[in-house]
Amino acid sequence: MKPAPFRYARASTLAEAIALLAEAPGERKLLAGGQSLVPMLNMRLVRPAVLVDVNRLRELTGIVPTAAGGFRIGALTRHAELAAAPAVRARAPLLAEAARHVGHAAIRNQGTLGGSLAHADPAAELPAALVALDARVLVAGQRGTREIAVDTFFRGLLTTALEADEILTAVEIPAPAPGWGFVEVARRPGDFALAGVAAALRLAPGSPARFAAARLVGFGVGDRPLRLSGAERLLDGGALDAETAARAGAVVARDCDPPSDVHGSADYRRHLATVLTERALLQAAARLGGRPR
């Protein structure tokens, strides 16, 4: 199929892009990497009156470390850049690992961080990684700028807290937790994940054998990146061992609400979530210096 007719506009500045969106909110779409938008245009799942190209906006680029140990990432940062950037690999290897799992090389070279978040596919890797990292999403519109906690940014299937006249400009990540894990199961490399889990863990002060805080996020198991809160509560103050990881995995099914489709049933995806939670926790424990038995 071919897309429905639309007008193309290329913005030169962020202010110009915001003005173009505000002319007819809801009837315009932003074009960044286009890895999700172009197929949806071709299948006529979306029919914007105007396509606003933001690829020339330097305001939306760059990976800048912060003094507090985190960093700010521009929305136009490509997946391949996230996977390779020294600052990301050093300060947030969980995010670099998630980016490495996105699609194929051609998709990673074109797709953008902001596009992935705004599209809000519940099986996508980067949204889950950023929820695990407790990130903040920065957006701009005619009413000014605002920050949105990533926990509240995703509202449901392909739905976010972005208003129709707002642009996602950057993501800010605090100093990441030192223990992390990231695992997924897909039918083939590059396919959408059937299920996956991102984990970020901190140890209790003065205790090299107990968790102080855990953020566990499932993807492909609900209508958005899902905090696996039951497992997080179980880990609070728990021991850093294989038995705890197994018990945490066993409780995640109650937090999941996965779909059934031709690739796998809801029950199969729940089972994957339990196994992958355990594996992600064992990865994180190993990186924290623990020795799970």
Say what the alpha-carbon torsion angle 84, 86, 88, 90 is, to the nearest 10 degrees.
Answer: 130
- Of 173, 194, 217, the position where a domain reaches its end is 173
Which domain CATH number covers 216? 3.30.390.50
Both 93 and 138 in a single domain?
Answer: yes
Could you give the 3-state DSSP secondary structure of residue 166?
A: coil
- When pLDDT is cut at 50, 70 and 90, the band that residue 289 belongs to is confident
Q: Tally the domains of the chain.
A: 3
Is the pLDDT at 291 greater than 60? The verdict is no
| Span 36-48, pLDDT tens digits | 999 999 999 999 9
- Of 173, 205, 232, the position where a domain reaches its end is 173
Does residue 34 sit within a domain? yes
**Structure token digits, residue 115:** 């596009």
Both 40 and 21 in a single domain?
Answer: yes
- When pLDDT is cut at 50, 70 and 90, the band that residue 67 belongs to is confident
Does residue 77 sit within a domain? yes
Both 122 and 150 in a single domain?
Answer: yes
**Structure token digits, residue 75:** 């929305």
Both 168 and 185 in a single domain?
Answer: no
Does residue 183 sit within a domain? yes
Does residue 293 sit within a domain? no
Both 104 and 125 in a single domain?
Answer: yes
- Of 151, 173, 195, the position where a domain reaches its end is 173
| Span 196-213, pLDDT tens digits | 999 999 888 777 777 888
**Structure token digits, residue 71:** 């960093």
Say what the alpha-carbon torsion angle 235, 147, 195, 239 is, to the nearest 10 degrees.
Answer: -10
Does residue 159 sit within a domain? yes
Domain that holds residue 43: 7-53
- When pLDDT is cut at 50, 70 and 90, the band that residue 84 belongs to is very high
Is the pLDDT at 290 greater than 90? The verdict is no
The tokens 């805080």 sit on which residue?
A: 213
DSSP annotation of 144: E
Which domain CATH number covers 107? 3.30.465.10
Is the pLDDT at 102 greater than 50? The verdict is yes
Does residue 1 sit within a domain? no
| Span 110-122, pLDDT tens digits | 999 999 999 999 9
Both 235 and 277 in a single domain?
Answer: yes
**Structure token digits, residue 59:** 């305001």
Does residue 231 sit within a domain? yes
Cα distance between residue 196 and residue 273, in whole Å: 7
| Span 231-256, pLDDT tens digits | 999 998 888 889 999 999 999 998 99
